[in-house]
Structure 1
Amino acid sequence: MPRTAPTTLLGTVSSLGTTSGVANIIQQLALPPVGEGVSESRVVSGSPRRRPLKRARTTGQYLALAVAGNEADRAAMRGAVAEVHRHVRSGPDSPVAYNANAADLQLWVAACLFRFFVDQHVLLYGELDRAQLDHLLAEARPLATGVNVRAERWPGDWAAFEEYWSGMLPRLAISEEVRRDFESLADLGFLGEAWGPPGRLLARLLGPAYHFLTRGNLPPHFRELMGWTWTARDQRRFERVLVALRWADRLGNRVLLRLVYRLYVADFRLRRRLGLPVLGRLRVSDVMVRDGGGRRRIARPRQADRSR
């Protein structure tokens, strides 16, 4: 167990964070306008169904810049993210209205990202006190301003954050289409869509374990929204995993993960210096990604696509 509580968000990074990414995505996308916006997206270049490694890099860079970058880094990322989000807007047939640049939607996304950092520490090492949470919350403001949320909209202290979080929970819902998307992320099935046979092999080997870890990292309210069960036996098994992850931290994995964050920042700055698009070349399809937009030839269509 760490001798001192983290004083920065980078200090909360732990081995558990490598297992909780999809759980956090589910929290973000459980807000219907966010979930439907991602589900209906036509932005091929940023989709894990088409470019999973690139998507992992750009998401990691966004988090790294928020916790270890400077204002120039964040301004460049803010502009790039806004340009991508400009192409994610609801249409006449969308189940809900959405605009990916809407500040109220991005405030929820940023709140979930803050929980990504705090929850991985709390699950492994125990609760933080109110003063520590207030401090980390202030440190987390770049998570919101990075997606064009005004700084004053970020909760001022932990009490305000809890009030905001509790007030949002009744607004959450997961449609069947979005639930299928979540299942493909949690069991790594999306890798088959991106990479064909090699991706399906990886999903078969690693998917069951990652699905379990995703369920374990989700707060109960979100598990219920997904219709996932969680038994006492599951909890005991998950606690054994937490013991192993604590040992991984002690053996140096936390240091390695923080180095990865620093490398993300260095890579981002190199791309800017070379004049490269920091999020890569933007590609937008006329067809939703879920319906085959930008599909690789080696990938097998999803069952839902074939049934249409």
Structure 2
Amino acid sequence: MLRTAPTTLLGTVSSLGATSGVANVIQQLALPPVGEGVSESRVVSGSPRRYPMKRARTTGQYLALAVAGNDEDRAVMRAAIAEVHRHVRSGEHSPVAYNANAADLQLWVAACLFRFFVDQHVLLYGDLDRPALDTLVEQARPLATGVNVRAERWPADWAAFEDYWASMLPRLAISPEVRRDFESLADLGFLGEAWGLPGRILSRVLGPAYHFMTRGNLPPYFRELMGWQWTAADQRRFDRALTALRWADRLGNRVVLRTVYRLYVADFRLRRRLGLEVLGRLRVSDLMVRDGGGRRRIARERQVDRSR
């Protein structure tokens, strides 16, 4: 067990974080305007269903800049994200109203990202004391300001963060459409849509284990929203996985993961120097990604399904 509490978000990074990405996405998207916005998105260039490796890179870079970048890096990323989010707005037939640049929605996303860092440490190494949590809350402010949330809206300390988190839970809900999206992320089924046969093979081989770890990383409240069961046997199996991940940390994986964060920052700065778009070329489809936007074959299949 680690003896020293982390004083930075980078210090919370652990082997468990490699298994908890989708669990954190579920928390973010459980707020209906966020979930429906992603489910209805037409931004092909930012979708894991089309470009999973690119999406992993850009998400990783956002997190890395928040914890290891500088103000200039974050300002460039903030502008790029705002431009992408400008194309994510509710339409006439959307189940809820949403605007991806709305500060209220982005504050929730930032709060979930903060939990991504804190929870991976706590699950592996135990609870942090209040001073350590207060320090991490302050360290996490760039997660919010990076998506155009004013700095003063971020909670001042852990008590304020807990109050905010508790106030948001009654607002959470997961629609059947969004739940299907989550299932395909958790079992890696979306890789088949992105990569065809190789993706389906990866999903078949790795999907069951990743689905299990996603369920294990989710707080019970969110598992209930998903309708997922969690038994005592599941918890024992998850505890064994945590033991293995602690050993991975001791054998150097934490150092590797922190190096990856720093490489994300270096890659971001290199892209800027080369004049490349940091999030890549923006592509927006007339169709929602889930209906085949960016993939003619999938769009035709969806049309056939609806005609039956």
Pairing of 1:6-155 with structure 2 (within 5 A): 6-155=6-155
Once residues 5 and 302 of structure 1 are traced to their aligned partners in structure 2, the CA distance between those partners, rounded to angstroms, is 53
Give, in angstroms, the shift of residue 306 of structure 1.
5.2
User: Where does residue 288 of structure 1 map in the other structure?
Assistant: 288
Is the Cα–Cα contact under 8 Å of residues 50 and 296 in structure 1 kept in the other structure?
no
Go from structure 1 to structure 2 and tell me whether the alpha carbon gap of 1:130 and 1:93 turns closer, same or farther (over 3 Å shift).
same
Go from structure 1 to structure 2 and tell me whether the alpha carbon gap of 1:264 and 1:296 turns closer, same or farther (over 3 Å shift).
farther
User: Where does residue 267 of structure 1 map in the other structure?
Assistant: 267
The residue matched to 1:307 in structure 2 has which SS?
A: helix
Go from structure 1 to structure 2 and tell me whether the alpha carbon gap of 1:94 and 1:19 turns closer, same or farther (over 3 Å shift).
same
Q: Could you report, residue by residue, the CA deviation over 1:33-77 in whole angstroms, capped at 9, with x for unpaired residues?
A: 000000000000000000000000000000000000000000000
User: Where does residue 216 of structure 1 map in the other structure?
Assistant: 216
Gaps of 5+ in 2: none
Pairing of 1:248-267 with structure 2 (within 5 A): 248-267=248-267
Q: Which amino acid aligns with 1:111?
A: A
Give, in angstroms, the shift of residue 301 of structure 1.
7.0
Give, in angstroms, the shift of residue 303 of structure 1.
8.3
Identity of aligned residues (%): 85
Q: Does 1:307 align with 2:305?
A: yes
Give, in angstroms, the shift of residue 3 of structure 1.
2.6
Is the Cα–Cα contact under 8 Å of residues 138 and 157 in structure 1 kept in the other structure?
yes
Pairing of 1:236-247 with structure 2 (within 5 A): 236-247=236-247
User: Where does residue 230 of structure 1 map in the other structure?
Assistant: 230
Is the Cα–Cα contact under 8 Å of residues 292 and 302 in structure 2 kept in the other structure?
no
Go from structure 1 to structure 2 and tell me whether the alpha carbon gap of 1:4 and 1:127 turns closer, same or farther (over 3 Å shift).
same
Give, in angstroms, the shift of residue 307 of structure 1.
3.0
Is the Cα–Cα contact under 8 Å of residues 293 and 299 in structure 2 kept in the other structure?
no
RMSD: 1.3
Q: Which amino acid aligns with 1:132?
A: A
User: Where does residue 162 of structure 2 map in the other structure?
Assistant: 162
User: Where does residue 179 of structure 1 map in the other structure?
Assistant: 179
Is the Cα–Cα contact under 8 Å of residues 44 and 50 in structure 1 kept in the other structure?
yes
Give, in angstroms, the shift of residue 270 of structure 1.
0.3
Once residues 238 and 14 of structure 1 are traced to their aligned partners in structure 2, the CA distance between those partners, rounded to angstroms, is 16
TM superposition score normalised by structure 1: 0.98
The residue matched to 1:261 in structure 2 has which SS?
A: helix
- Provide the aligned length of Structure 1 versus Structure 2: 306
Is the Cα–Cα contact under 8 Å of residues 194 and 296 in structure 1 kept in the other structure?
no
Go from structure 1 to structure 2 and tell me whether the alpha carbon gap of 1:302 and 1:180 turns closer, same or farther (over 3 Å shift).
farther
Once residues 281 and 248 of structure 1 are traced to their aligned partners in structure 2, the CA distance between those partners, rounded to angstroms, is 37
